[in-house]
Amino acid sequence: MIRLAWTNLWRRPLRTLLASTGVAFASATFLFTQGFLAGYQRHITLELSRMGIQMMLVPLGCPYDAAARVLKGNALESTLPLEALTRARDDPAVATAAPFLMAALPRPRENRTDMFCGMDESGAALKPWWRAPAGAGLFPSSDSVILGADAAAIEMRQPGDSFYSPELARQFQVAGVLERNGTSDDQLFFMPLSTAQELFHASNRVTAIAIRLKDPVLLREAAARLGEIPGAQVVTMTEMMGTFLSVLGTVRTFILAITWVALIASGLGVLTVLLSATVERTPEYSLLRALGASRPQVFTVVLVEAILLASLGVCVGAVSASLSGGWIEDLASGHVPFAESARLFQLSPRITAATLLAALLGATLTAIYPAWRASGNAPAAVLKQMA
Amino acid sequence: MRARYFLFVLFALVPVSLFLLRRSPEHFTEPRPFIPEAAPVCPWQNPEQLLREQFPGTTQVKVEDRILSGKLLEMRKQLGRQPEPEEMSLRAHLVYRDQERLGEVLPRRIKGPSGAIEFLVALDAHGAIRAIRIQRLREPTAVEESLLRTEWLAAFEGKHSAAEVPPSNGSENEAQARVRDGIRAALILHSLGEPGKHP
């Protein structure tokens, strides 16, 4: 049956090639746009994750002032209770909630201020740019400190050195020195959160909770939930990106609609081809029926023909999309904001398989009418008409 | 039949040509290795106090950076060790009363046991130590007191060269020993940096 359908297809090669080219173009467009948009969203998400945090829980007050102070490595006058951290970590949208306790120790004789930051392992998870010391844990002991690049250079400290804070009257061991990363972290002294809480008399308090979400799309709903924590307010660090993702979602819907139109158009092309082939081959199908072929068998021949046509188109489309994707991306790269230098297009097996399945389903649907018509002919009437 | 093959070839040529036009992907870049950084130049905090004490009547202070990296071998020989990156240059604050040079101040930063120790070496016009002042330190109270002890600091006054500053005799604590070495190193660097003295 497959062989018969295949032979039927190539009886009119030009017509077959034109129809499958239509399917190929439509599926290539679909695959490219989906692969590109998925890659673009992945890149934006990666950029967000490189930012480390997507939102921050800070004590009530001016949220932007608080967020700016914490990001700049400055202390806040008020703090959050540790229960806020528990609630943040329990939120289903939150992947990581990292508490920070910032404290400033002015050294007026030196015209400088020592900035200490208490944090735990989760804080390091939010700082992917950190090149922290290699080893088992972030802070091997409660008196460990990790120094920012500037802090270490000015204090001439290396991993393993002692470090004394006269104001705290506490001796620390330098567990590591961060590589310069151009952020306020360069000037900070990082210590275990529990140590900072003890030294700065802030038991069970934190200055801020930095939050990374499981999916940036969950930003709004998570912000709404976390904003209900008493005494806390949410500052989203990705407002610009959030707006951008919203625009991207709209563009994605728009492009998806266009590609669906292209796919439907190609489906109509397949329908036209099958219908004309059915009309053309009416005597042959009638002869088959007269020779003993059942209606389902004739129906299946036309159906298989449609499936083969669609499969051929999708395969060619997938190959074209994968080969031309990079080239088209190069042409468009100058016009893509936030990802000018990134390689975005990636044809995933999932998208390809989904496209193939959609094409097969579409082919099956478009083949129903021609197949029904081909199998519904009364052999006697047709043969009589022919005679 | 020929038309069929022609169309097949045409059909196959489209993806092949697109493949050939495709730009090759960029290479991955290896992450940079971690390189420890040299300490920045030691500043001179609150110069008014030292100028008032040691160089009264100062009208002008000029900053001069002396590059010593060209004297690496001599430096290594005199220091008796490999010079630190911070020792490749020496910042001297030249103190003047009108046109008369009163002396100079060498701010130095050394690695103390518990943090950096910054001190000032005030030299008179002949290159002898007028005063040593601890500018910044991060040591426990007992060590801090030992470093700030007037008589210990005064013992360096009048020394012209590193040879006149004896090495630590073992009775000093680690921070004092390091400051002593730092003062000796400052005098060596000063001597190497003097114009015309070490070609």
What does the pLDDT look like over A288-336, one tens digit per residue?
Answer: 888 888 888 888 888 888 888 888 888 888 888 888 877 777 776 666 6
CB-CB under 8 Å, A179 with B34: yes
Residues B123 and B106 sit within 8 Å (Cβ to Cβ)? yes
Query: Is the Cβ pair B37, A153 closer than 8 Å?
Result: yes
Is the pLDDT score of A64 beyond 70?
no
* CB pair distance less than 8 Å for B114 and A177: no
The packing angle between helices A349-376 and A295-332, to 10°, is 150
Separation CA B76–CA B78 (nearest Å): 6
- A238 versus B139: the higher-pLDDT residue is B139
Q: Please indicate whether, in this complex, the C-beta atoms of B115 and A164 are within 8 angstroms of each other.
A: yes
Choice between B92 and B26, residue whose per-residue pLDDT is larger: B92
Q: Number of residue pairs across A and B with CB atoms under 8 Å?
A: 90
Cβ–Cβ < 8 Å for A18, A312: no
Nearest-10 crossing angle of helices A295-332, B2-21:
30
- Mutant choice from A10, A145, A314, A324 vs B, greatest count of B C-beta within 10 A: A324
Strand pairing report for A94-107 and A208-213: antiparallel
Residue of B nearest to A174 (CA): B114
DSSP B116-176: EEEEEEEEETTS-EEEEEEEE----HHHHHHHH-HHHHHTTTT--SGGGSPPP-SSS-HHH
Beta bridge partners of A115: A104, A188
Please give, rounded to a whole number of angstroms, the shortest distance from the CA of B140 to a CA of chain A. Answer: 6
Q: What's the mean pLDDT in A278-283?
A: 83
pLDDT value of residue B5: 63
Q: Do B11 and A179 touch (CB under 8 A)?
A: no
Residue with tokens 């151009």: A182
For residue A135, is pLDDT > 50?
A: no
Q: Which amino acid is at B99?
A: Q
| pLDDT tops 70 at residue B19 | no
Mean pLDDT of all residues in B1-24:
55
Tokens at residue B137, please? 């330190």
pLDDT above 50 for A180: yes
Go through chain A and tell me how many residues it has: 387
Instruction: For residue A154, give the nearest of B39, B46, B112 by CB distance.
Output: B39
Residue range A345-370, pLDDT digits in tens: 777 788 888 888 888 888 888 888 88
User: How far apart are alpha carbons A296 and A304 in whole angstroms?
Assistant: 12
Q: What is the mean pLDDT of residues A235-243?
A: 64
Chain B neighbours among A 75-114 (CB < 8 Å)? 107, 109-111
Q: Of B23, B135, B144, which has the smallest distance from its Cβ to A330's Cβ?
A: B23
Q: Which residues of B are less than 8 Å from A107 in CB distance?
A: 136
A330: which chain B residues are within 8 Å (Cβ-Cβ)? 22-23
ipTM higher than 0.90? no
Most A-contacting residue of B1, B9, B14 (CB-CB within 10 A), to test interface: B14
Q: Which of B11, B18, B143 to mutate to test the interface with A (most CBs of A within 10 A)?
A: B18
Calculate how close chain B gets to A319, using CA atoms only, in Å: 7
d(CA B44, CA B50): 10
* Among candidates A163, A326, A330 on the partner chain, residue whose Cβ is nearest the Cβ of B115: A163
Q: Do A156 and B15 touch (CB under 8 A)?
A: no
Mutation pick from A9, A110, A161, A329 vs chain B, by most beta carbons of B within 10 Å, is A110
Out of B4, B39, B144, whose CB is closest to A13?
Answer: B4
* C-alpha–C-alpha distance, residues B68 and B76, integer Å: 11
**Minimum-distance CB partner of B140 among A17, A164, A319:** A164
**Secondary structure of residue A90 in the 3-state scheme:** helix
Of B22, B40, B46, the CB nearest to A153: B40
Per-residue confidence (pLDDT) for residue B23, from 0 to 100: 42
What is the average pLDDT score of chain A?
A: 81
Rounded distance between C-alpha atoms, residue B187 and residue B123, angstroms: 9
Q: What angle do CA B119, B123, B129 make, to 5 degrees?
A: 80
What does the pLDDT look like over B83-126, one tens digit per residue?
Answer: 888 888 899 999 999 989 999 999 999 999 999 999 999 999 99
Kindly state the average pLDDT of the residues B155-177. Answer: 87
Where residue A172 falls among pLDDT bands split at 50, 70, 90? very high
Distance from CA of B79 to the nearest CA of A (A): 19
Q: Is the pLDDT of residue B60 over 70?
A: yes
Evaluate if residue A108 carries a pLDDT over 60.
yes
